[in-house]
Each structure stands twice: as C-alpha cells, then as structure tokens.
C-alpha cells in the first residue's frame, strides 16, 4: 500500500507570496491532518479534514487554510507569507482521525520564506 | 493543560548498548501516550502507543515503553541499539477524540557511535 505523499518536497518563496501544498493520503483514509514543525515551536497541529469538512483547527491565523477533495486528497494554503512561516509542513492520514487510530505521516514539504 | 517533557535534547550511545529515552507528561486523567521516530528528511513514524491495559508496551523495531502512572512517565527503551536507530524521537500525550488533542514533546536526538 502506498504511503502518504506530499508535493512539492521543497519550496522557496518570498514574503507576501502565497503557497499551496498538496497531500495524498493512504488509500481508504478519510482523515487528513496538517502539522507545522519548527525548531523553536516543535510540532504544532494546524487542522484536520474528514470527508471534505474541516473538523478540527489549531491555533493558527486565518492565513493558513486548507481543503479536502472527494478522493481525500488535501491541500493547504498559506497566504501573505511571513518569514516565520518557514517550516517543515507535515501531512498525516488515518482511517478515522480518532486518537486510537494509527496516523501515518508523509515526508513533509520544506518551506523556506525569504 | 496537558504537556509533555523530554528532558534530554541529545543523547549519544554506542552501537550495541542499551537505550532509554525519558518522557514525562502532565495530564489530568489516564492519557493516551505515543512515541514517534523521525529520520532526517522524513515524516514521523509511530513506534508504539498506550491507551490502556498492560503498562509495558511493545512496538516496532525492537522498542518498548513502560507507562508509570505514579511517576507520570512513559520512557522508551531498546536493549541493543543499531546504527540505523539514529534519528529524532518524539513523545506525545493525548486523549480520546482526535489528534488535535495530541501534544508533542520537543524531541530527543539520538546519535549512535560505532
């Protein structure tokens, strides 16, 4: 079974631009979560989508948004990029999104904002 | 609020030696506990998890962890470390209801020397 894939793997943007990251979950998984990982803040939950609906949201500004398509693929968008948005963005999928359900992570997208 | 502490930022062990990575948590009720491993350039992989029952949990790659309620700890152990175990290890604490409720520790970076 193919794992979670994320594209692109690396991105370089400048302040003020916007960016879209993509995540393809494991086949059959309906829950997709996004995380931001930085050396200073560690791993922080952004949001979770389940069956095309945002079910949970972390404490991030509205510049961070996402969506999920009918095939469970998900995209994350960051508008008006700031230097502090430089991070590794991880996507994870699970069958149900419940904490007892194993979550599988993708390799991440490394975003650098100049 | 729940929290998790990994007191060791960096640990170095010799190949073949035993390993113990410390994790302390703060949570009001019986927590859900997780250990993940992240290799360079990769996403997180679940090593093991504890929800209830037997306090000694066996995971993948020869790892185990023991839940000690009296000490609020969930330390990760391996009897004999291999060079391929060099990675960063994250402890996480959560609750029923979804991964938005999971808090990750700041990680322990493991170096393995020949």
Dump pLDDT digits (tens) for B25-61: 998 788 999 999 999 888 999 999 999 889 999 999 9
Q: Provide the shortest C-alpha distance from residue A103 to chain B (in Å).
A: 8
B98, A42: Cβ pair inside 8 Å? no
Tell me if residue B56 falls in helix, strand or coil.
Answer: strand
- Which residues of B fall within a CB distance of 8 Å from A108? 42-43
What percent of chain B stands above pLDDT 90? 80
Pairing outcome for strands B3-5 and B44-50? unpaired
Q: Please tell me if residue B83 touches chain A, with a CB cutoff of 8 Å.
A: no
pLDDT-derived band of residue A31, with 50, 70 and 90 as boundaries?
very high
- Rounded Cα–Cα distance for residues B90 and A30 (Å): 25
Q: Provide the shortest C-alpha distance from residue B82 to chain A (in Å).
A: 22
pLDDT-derived band of residue A99, with 50, 70 and 90 as boundaries?
confident
A100, B32: Cβ pair inside 8 Å? yes
pLDDT confidence of residue B15 = 97
Average pLDDT, integer, range A74-99: 96
- Rounded Cα–Cα distance for residues B1 and B73 (Å): 17
Q: Provide the shortest C-alpha distance from residue B61 to chain A (in Å).
A: 16
Q: List Cβ neighbours of B38 (8 Å cut-off, separation of 6 or more).
A: B44, B45, B87, B88, B89, B90, B107
Q: List Cβ neighbours of A98 (8 Å cut-off, separation of 6 or more).
A: B96, B97, B98
């Amino acid at each position: 079974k193919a794992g979670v894939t994320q594209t692109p793997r690396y991105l370089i943007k400048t302040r003020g631009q916007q960016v879209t990251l993509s995540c393809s979950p494991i086949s059959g998984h309906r829950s997709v979560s996004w995380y931001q990982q930085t050396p200073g803040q560690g791993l922080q939950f952004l949001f979770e989508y389940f069956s095309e609906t945002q079910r949970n949201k972390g404490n991030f500004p509205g510049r961070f948004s996402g969506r999920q398509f009918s095939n469970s693929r998900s995209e994350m968008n960051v508008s008006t990029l700031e230097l502090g948005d430089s991070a590794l963005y991880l996507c994870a999928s699970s069958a149900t999104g419940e904490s007892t359900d194993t979550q599988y992570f993708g390799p991440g997208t490394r975003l650098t904002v100049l | 609020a729940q929290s998790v502490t990994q007191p060791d930022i960096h640990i170095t062990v010799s190949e073949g030696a035993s390993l113990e990575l410390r994790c302390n948590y703060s949570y009001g009720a019986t927590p859900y506990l997780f250990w993940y491993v992240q290799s360079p350039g990769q996403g997180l992989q679940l090593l093991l998890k504890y929800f209830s029952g037997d306090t000694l949990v066996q995971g993948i790659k020869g790892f185990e962890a023991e839940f000690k309620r009296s000490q609020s700890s969930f330390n990760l152990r391996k009897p004999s470390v291999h060079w391929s175990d060099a990675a960063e290890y994250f402890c996480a604490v959560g609750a029923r209801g979804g991964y938005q409720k999971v808090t990750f520790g700041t990680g322990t970076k493991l170096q393995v020397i020949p």
